Amino acid sequence: MSTTQSERLRELLAPLVSARELDLEEVEVTPAGKRRVLRVVVDSDEGVQLDACAELSREISQKLDETDVMGGAPYVLEVTSPGADRPLTQHRHYVRATGRLIKAQLTEGGELVARIVAVDDEGLDLEVPGVKGRRPTARRLAFADIAKARVEIEFNRPGAATAAAGTDESQEEA
């Protein structure tokens, strides 16, 4: 996808997304046989419900029909929330992952698996799980020391018995 098309799509879709108090995380167009897939990833501090994705999908579809930003070739529109395995790349991603276990690749080498306790402008306060019956330890990690990070999937996450992980999707064909 050309940078120009990507920029045009972001400019077109950002007001629709922000009007619903969501963050536009990603806009991606990929080939899929004779069609293309336009994938719009949105998120919020409270997560994104399936109904919100469906409503936003209808609005985006209508807006795209009013413009030529996608050209004349057929495409499939997907409006979705980020998957559990998406990288943590922005401050708001870390804030939303507070209480979750993450795996961070460190800039100086090695990796760290720890639970985010708090996030501020400079970095993270973490709880590193104890090994072999030892108590967890506190650790401070600056954002500058993180090469990349992802949330670790936990099936028995403490305090999250009712939380559900996953991706909400709504698809429409244009």
Do 70 and 29 sit in the same domain of this protein? yes
In a domain, 157, yes or no: no
Q: Which domain holds residue 10?
A: 3-84+164-173
Do 61 and 127 sit in the same domain of this protein? no
Q: Give residue 130's identity as a one-letter amino acid code.
A: G
Contact 130, 136 (CB under 8 A): yes
At residue 155, the pLDDT reads 79
Q: How many Cα atoms within 13 Å fall on the side-chain side of residue 134?
A: 9
Give the Cα separation of 124 and 140 in Å (integer): 6
Residues of the chain with pLDDT under 50: 1-2, 161-170, 173-174
According to DSSP, residue 99 is labeled: T
Residues 6+ apart with CB under 8 A from 6: 27, 29
At residue 108, the pLDDT reads 94
At residue 164, the pLDDT reads 43
Task: Kindly report the pTM of this predicted structure.
Answer: 0.70
Summarised one tens digit per residue, pLDDT across range 27-37 is: 999 888 889 99
Q: Under DSSP, is residue 67 helix (H, G, I), strand (E, B) or coil?
A: coil
For residue 127, what is the domain's CATH number? 2.30.30.100
Share of the chain above pLDDT 70, in %: 88
